[in-house]
Amino acid sequence: MEQFKHIDAKTIELAGIAASIAGGCRPCLDYHFKKAIEIGCTIEQVKEAIELGKMIKQRPIKDIYEHAEKLINNSLK
């Protein structure tokens, strides 16, 4: 990826994997997974990128659940 001067190709693909998981984009995940393996990322690196994507995706879900609980608790007072 020539437009990036300070980020190496492996980091870009691992970020792509995390973003694909967080965004729920299967075709994106397929593309970035294949590309990451092709350029030499290890399965361990890919697994960590997947875990990062899961964490990013879960954050707003956790926040909205907590907010819903607060709304319920405040309405019971």
Give the distance, in angstroms, between the CA of residue 37 and the centroid of all CA atoms in the same chain. Answer: 17
Domain coverage including residue 19: 9-75
26 within a domain of the structure (yes/no): yes
**Could you give the CA distance from residue 54 to residue 73 in angstroms, rounded to a whole number?**
28
Output the pLDDT for position 60: 87
Grade residue 77 by pLDDT with cuts at 50, 70 and 90.
Answer: confident
24 within a domain of the structure (yes/no): yes
20 within a domain of the structure (yes/no): yes
Query: Cβ(58)–Cβ(24) under 8 Å?
Result: no
37 within a domain of the structure (yes/no): yes
Instruction: Write out pLDDT tens, residues 50-72.
Output: 999 999 999 888 899 999 999 99
40 within a domain of the structure (yes/no): yes
**Could you give the CA distance from residue 2 to residue 10 in angstroms, rounded to a whole number?**
13
16 within a domain of the structure (yes/no): yes
Instruction: Write out pLDDT tens, residues 14-48.
Output: 999 999 999 999 999 999 999 999 999 999 999 99
1 within a domain of the structure (yes/no): no
Q: Which candidate, 74, 21, 26, places its Cα nearest to that of 46? A: 21
Q: How many CA atoms lie within 13 A of 75 on its CB side?
A: 6
15 within a domain of the structure (yes/no): yes
Output the pLDDT for position 1: 62
- Number of structural domains found in the chain: 1
